[in-house]
Amino acid sequence: MSIFNKLFGKQDKKQPSRHPNQKKPIPTFDEFTRLRAENRLGVIMVVGDTGKSEYFPFLKYAILNDPDFHVTLAALKRIHLFKENTEVVPMLTEIKNNGSGQEFEPYFSMALSRLGIITMEEFEKKMNNAE
C-alpha cells in the first residue's frame, strides 16, 4: 500500500467511545437498587435535581432503605423538589415522629424545614442545640 493510500484511503472507523460529558441513561428502579453505592449516589443527584414525580421512587428508596449513608443524605438534600408528591410530607413526618432521622442531621431537618414540616425557628433551635 502506498503512502498516499495510507493517508487518504478508505479507513476503518472505530466506534466512538462514550464522551465523558455524554449523559448515561437513567436506570430502571430495579437496576438502581442493584448498583454500587457511588453509582446510586450519582443517579440520586441527577434524578433528584429534576424534581420529576416519575423519579420519586428513587428518592423514597434512598431515604427509607438505602444502606449507604451518603446516598440517603443526597436524597434528603433534594426531596423538597418533590413536594408536590402526596407521599413526601407524610413520609418525612413519620420519620420525624419515630425519631429515625436523627442520624441524618442536619440534612433531615433542612428537608423538614424546606417542606414546611418544621418552622425555620424550630430548625435553628435544633441546629443550635446540636452543638
C-alpha distances in Å from residue 46, one per residue of 2, 6, 31, 58: 51, 45, 15, 11
pLDDT reading at 2 higher than 80 = no
Q: What is the pLDDT of residues 46-75, one digit of tens each?
A: 999 999 999 999 999 999 999 999 999 999
| Arithmetic mean of pLDDT, 20-48 | 90
DSSP conformational letter for 15:
P
pLDDT tens for each residue of 67-97: 999 999 999 999 999 999 999 999 999 999 9
